[in-house]
């Protein structure tokens, strides 16, 4: 068979029936082959390669299966870079194919040649270059194995033109063995028993759940552990959805823009059970003083994350699901738990139900409250990056894992629209909302064309404050309101923009118009934009100064909650 047949056959065999891509000289043979596989594999033709990477990334986040994107050599592949890095930072199993010039031209600065192996080296889990058609199937199978094995991550495959058109007689292997890649997934029993002992001795435990819990499909086990211990659970941005946020034990997100209740529980716990999180600076603030009053158990499949940022009292290397199951088993004997910690948390949670004033201008939170009214349990939320993203993290209660898709580690603006396209492709039967900012949305708004042409119905809700809101907030707080380069001015007319692509939308300026707008959006068969003109200078609070101690967090809804913790 031809090289291109081998590529598609191997992808199909690995469970891929959808790719996101954009053609160009060096991948013409591959896309030519797609015509022979009509009905078996579908390529979503995006309008910019970056969007292909984000869409494939979101596809992976929603399904847990690798997402595949394809671009041509040179600028096509370099346009994937932001998307690959986004997937890398959030441990998403992305497989990126980049075309490449013919093997005998490599290194000659040929037309549209770029050293993509070199460029992607720091932002991929691994990369390959296929130099011969005989290598195709084995390499692609290896890529799938590496992308999904252990801690997931992106794999880049450099695909020179000639192997695509060569003939190969090699059949697709059943399985591949990678001698040097054998990730450890089973936790050590001894460590589990020690952890169980520490947990039984703890008076005020807290669970910090990261993206690893979602990636390991262990939301159920996490919830069981929390309920068994009556331990509150706080999540990172990536961990959102690992516990039903309407569960009384759920405290929401911690960290720089974390909920006060979550940060104060972190501050006052005596044992932190951190699962599948990497303690980024957005979580810890000042590293020296983070978790300095408690013991820390850190469960992670990636040994390099343990002890990297936060000193750990008990490390457990293993898959989150397997570790949680082992821990639940080790904890079966019932311990009489003092419930005062749980009760204090519950008491504080009541204090935390802040409300916004219904002013003439719309508060961003109001938008999200209205979205929650129409959003069904399995519906998916994708976001851009900025204030709207943090508002979403705070106020959109998420009930299920893999239904909140956001660029966490990378903080990639423009992620929302292409991500919602990827999510909708993966889950055609649910509603996918793109909660976006006016700045973020404009970074990939060309993908409205993809929605229109490929009949992908997503629900973009643009929270417009005519500013790059997060930067404006920093300038207000830390730079004495010297607003430099943050005004977006008048903004394009987003409704007309939608119409230009043959879609429709509406613009909302008053709170009571939101409900109808959302209903019209739901009724529309096509992608329908809602542009919401919100208060221009609202801030997302609470906020922890960068590098600051959690105690220094300011703003937000609980009034001086620290005092609750000081009396016992």
Residues of the shown chain interacting with other proteins in the complex, contacts defined by CB under 8 A: 117-118, 121-122, 125-126, 129, 146, 178-181, 302-304, 307-308
Closer by beta carbon to other proteins, 111 or else 181 = 181
Closer by beta carbon to other proteins, 117 or else 165 = 117
CB of 72 to other proteins, least distance (A): 22
Q: Among this protein's residues, is 111 annotated catalytic?
A: yes
The C-alpha angle with vertex 317 and arms to 315 and 322, in degrees rounded to 5, equals: 120
- The percent helix, strand, coil of the chain (3-state, each to 5) is 40, 15, 40
Helix (H, G, I), strand (E, B) or coil at 457: coil
Closer by beta carbon to other proteins, 315 or else 542 = 315
Alpha-carbon 110 to chain mean position: 36
Closer by beta carbon to other proteins, 126 or else 424 = 126
Asked whether the beta carbons of 154 and 124 are under 8 A apart, the reply is: yes
Which of 85, 116, 443, 470 is labelled catalytic? 470
Per DSSP, the residues of 389-443 read HHHHHHH----STTSEE---SS--TT-HHHHHHHHHHH-TTS-EEEEEEHHHHHT
- Residue pointed to by tokens 């930072």: 89
Which of 65, 125, 142, 161 is labelled catalytic? 161
Alpha carbon distance 530, 435 (integer Å): 10
CB of 129 to other proteins, least distance (A): 8
Asked whether the beta carbons of 424 and 432 are under 8 A apart, the reply is: yes
Closer by beta carbon to other proteins, 308 or else 359 = 308
Q: Which residues of 513-535 are buried (b: 16+ CB within 10 A; e: fewer)?
A: bbeebbeebeebebbbbbbbbbe
Alpha carbon distance 372, 508 (integer Å): 17
Q: Among this protein's residues, is 245 annotated catalytic?
A: no
Burial status of residue 304 (CB atoms within 10 A of its CB: 0-12, 13-18, 19 or more): exposed
Alpha carbon distance 38, 124 (integer Å): 31
Alpha helices in 64-186 (DSSP H): 75-78, 81-89, 116-120, 136-148, 161-165
Closer by beta carbon to other proteins, 319 or else 533 = 319
CB of 308 to other proteins, least distance (A): 6
Q: Among this protein's residues, is 230 annotated catalytic?
A: no
Closer by beta carbon to other proteins, 123 or else 243 = 123
Which of 1, 5, 13, 112 is labelled catalytic? 112
Alpha carbon distance 456, 53 (integer Å): 17
Closer by beta carbon to other proteins, 120 or else 399 = 120
CB of 410 to other proteins, least distance (A): 16
Alpha carbon distance 195, 201 (integer Å): 10
Closer by beta carbon to other proteins, 149 or else 545 = 149
Per DSSP, the residues of 184-212 read --SPPHHHHHHHHHHHHH-SSEEEEE-HH
DSSP lists the bridge partners of residue 217 as: none
Q: What is the biggest distance separating any 2 CA atoms in the chain, rounded to whole angstroms?
A: 76
Burial status of residue 440 (CB atoms within 10 A of its CB: 0-12, 13-18, 19 or more): buried
The C-alpha angle with vertex 89 and arms to 319 and 396, in degrees rounded to 5, equals: 85
Closest CA to 240 of 225, 224, 262: 262
> Under 8 Å CB-to-CB from 180, ≥6 apart: which residues?
none
Q: Among this protein's residues, is 116 annotated catalytic?
A: no
Alpha carbon distance 45, 416 (integer Å): 17
CB of 305 to other proteins, least distance (A): 9
CB of 191 to other proteins, least distance (A): 17
Which of 111, 479, 481, 552 is labelled catalytic? 111
CB of 283 to other proteins, least distance (A): 19
CB of 322 to other proteins, least distance (A): 19
CB of 33 to other proteins, least distance (A): 27
Which of 2, 11, 33, 49 is labelled catalytic? 49
Closer by beta carbon to other proteins, 145 or else 366 = 145
Task: Give first-to-last CA distance, the chain, whole Å.
Answer: 74
Asked whether the beta carbons of 113 and 145 are under 8 A apart, the reply is: no
CB of 288 to other proteins, least distance (A): 14
Active site residues: 49, 111-112, 161, 470
């Amino acid at each position: 068979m031809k090289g291109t047949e081998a590529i598609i056959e191997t992808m199909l065999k690995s469970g891929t029936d959808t790719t996101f891509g954009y053609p160009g000289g060096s991948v013409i043979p591959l896309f030519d082959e797609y015509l022979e596989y009509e009905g078996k594999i579908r390529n979503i033709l995006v309008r910019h390669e970056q969007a292909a990477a984000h869409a494939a990334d979101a596809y992976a986040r929603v399904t847990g299966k690798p997402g595949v994107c394809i671009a041509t050599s040179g600028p096509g592949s370099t346009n994937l870079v932001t998307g690959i890095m986004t997937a890398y930072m959030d441990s998403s199993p992305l497989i990126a194919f980049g075309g490449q010039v013919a093997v005998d031209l490599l290194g000659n600065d040929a037309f549209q040649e770029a050293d993509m192996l070199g460029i992607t080296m720091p932002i991929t889990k691994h990369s390959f270059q296929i130099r011969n058609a005989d290598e195709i199937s084995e390499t692609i199978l290896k890529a799938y194995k590496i992308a999904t094995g252990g801690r997931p991550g992106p794999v880049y495959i450099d695909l020179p033109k000639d192997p695509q058109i060569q003939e190969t007689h090699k059949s697709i292997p059943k399985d591949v063995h990678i001698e040097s890649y054998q990730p450890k997934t089973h936790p050590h029993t001894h460590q589990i028993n020690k952890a169980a002992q520490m947990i039984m001795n703890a008076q005020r435990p807290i669970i910090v759940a990261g993206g690893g819990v979602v990636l390991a499909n262990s939301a159920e086990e996490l919830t069981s552990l929390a309920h068994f211990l009556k331990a509150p659970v706080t999540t990172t941005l990536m961990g959102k959805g690992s516990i039903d946020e309407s569960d009384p034990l759920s405290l929401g997100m911690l960290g720089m823009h974390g909920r006060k209740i979550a940060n104060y529980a972190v501050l006052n716990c005596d044992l932190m059970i951190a699962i599948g999180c990497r303690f980024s600076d957005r979580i810890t603030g000042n590293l020296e003083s983070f978790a300095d009053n408690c013991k820390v158990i850190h469960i992670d499949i990636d040994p390099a994350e343990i002890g990297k940022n936060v000193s750990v009292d008990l490390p457990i290397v293993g898959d989150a699901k397997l570790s949680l199951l082992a821990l639940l088993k080790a904890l079966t004997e019932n311990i009489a738990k003092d419930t005062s910690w749980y009760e204090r948390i519950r008491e504080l949670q009541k204090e935390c139900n802040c409300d916004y004033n219904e002013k003439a201008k719309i508060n961003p939170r109001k938008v999200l409250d209205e979205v929650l009214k129409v959003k069904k349990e399995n519906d998916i939320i994708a976001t851009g990056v900025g204030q709207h993203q943090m508002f979403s993290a705070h106020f959109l209660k998420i009930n299920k894992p893999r239904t909140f898709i956001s660029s966490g580690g990378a903080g990639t603006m423009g992620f929302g629209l292409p991500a919602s396209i990827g999510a909708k492709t993966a889950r055609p039967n649910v509603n996918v909302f793109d909660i976006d900012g006016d700045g973020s949305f404009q970074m990939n708004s060309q993908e409205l064309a993809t929605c229109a042409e490929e009949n992908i119905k997503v629900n973009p809700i643009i929270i417009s404050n005519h500013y790059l809101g997060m930067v404006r907030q920093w300038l207000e707080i830390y730079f004495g309101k010297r607003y430099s380069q943050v005004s977006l001015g008048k903004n394009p007319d987003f409704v007309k923009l939608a119409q230009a692509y043959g879609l429709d939308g509406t613009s909302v300026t008053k709170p009571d118009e939101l409900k109808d707008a959302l209903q019209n959006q739901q009724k529309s068969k096509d992608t329908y934009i809602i542009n919401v003109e919100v208060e221009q200078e609202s801030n997302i609070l609470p906020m922890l100064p960068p590098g600051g101690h959690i105690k220094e967090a300011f703003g937000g809804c609980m009034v001086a909650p620290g005092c609750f913790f000081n009396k016992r």
